Structure 1
Amino acid sequence: MTGANVTGRSRTVGVDLQASGDDVRNLVAAIEKDNPDITVRYLPGLIKIQKTGPLVIRRESVEELLGRPWETHEFQLAIVSYYGHVDEWDDDEIVIKWSH
């Protein structure tokens, strides 16, 4: 059962981002576009994103909203913390999920 705990329930993954600037707002909008079932909470200085199951960040979606090229390593500039495992991180997408 990928993404499920021993009781069979899916586990939540998430990422906390610095709430700073247009780039991060567009990044969050792109994440929302590709993961319509996420929960986003805006706190002072922090944006908390949570999802049951895999969380996917696609380069193409981010670039579309930023209006410029974006490399996935730029995601590190916004991350405060995350929970789950980074299952995939390449030039096209980042996937955070639980491996077990």
Structure 2
Amino acid sequence: MTTTPPGHIASAHLNNRVGPVLRQGELAKAVAEAAEIDNPGKVITLDDKVAYLRVSTEGEMILRRETIEEMLGKPFRMSELEVELSSFSGRIENNAEQVRFYFEKKL
């Protein structure tokens, strides 16, 4: 059983982390690498939970189809991301070329 540190819940509203939670596998690794490339200057955090991988950063994360394709070494459609996306934090905006995870305003 995991316990929550004192004050953790009280400060939860200060969390502005955004990003995908993906089932482990080839695509999760490619997305983690793409997150580093597509978000220069940002600290990307990987939380490996064995069955899934949480990729996150503060405020906004962009993932481009072209970068994911490069990391996979094969063609990729952004709609394929939805199949492996277990969850995400923040809001999401997507099209055929990229997906954006974001918060509209910081708390």
Corresponding residue of 1:89? 94
CA positional deviation for 1:24: 2.5
Given candidates 77, 85, 91, the residue that maps to 1:79 is 85
Structure-1 separation of matches of 2:89 and 2:71:
25
Tell me the residue number matched to 1:34: 38
Output the CA distance in 1 between the equivalents of 2:52 and 2:30: 15
Q: TM-score, normalised by structure 2?
A: 0.74
List gaps (5 residues or longer) in structure 1. Answer: 1-8
Distance across 1 between alignment mates of 2:74 and 2:85:
20
Contact 1:10 1:53 in 2 (8 A): no
Aligned to 1:23: 27
Q: Which amino acid aligns with 1:16?
A: V
Name the counterpart of 2:4: none
- After superposing on structure 2, the runs of 4+ consecutive aligned residues of structure 1 that deviate more than 6 Å are none
- Alpha carbons of structure 1 residues 43 and 10: separation in structure 2 relative to 1, 3 Å: closer
Give how far 1:10 is off: 7.4
Displacement of 1:22 in angstroms is 2.0
How many residues in Structure 1 have an aligned counterpart in Structure 2? 90
CA contact (8 A) 2:18 2:56 kept: yes
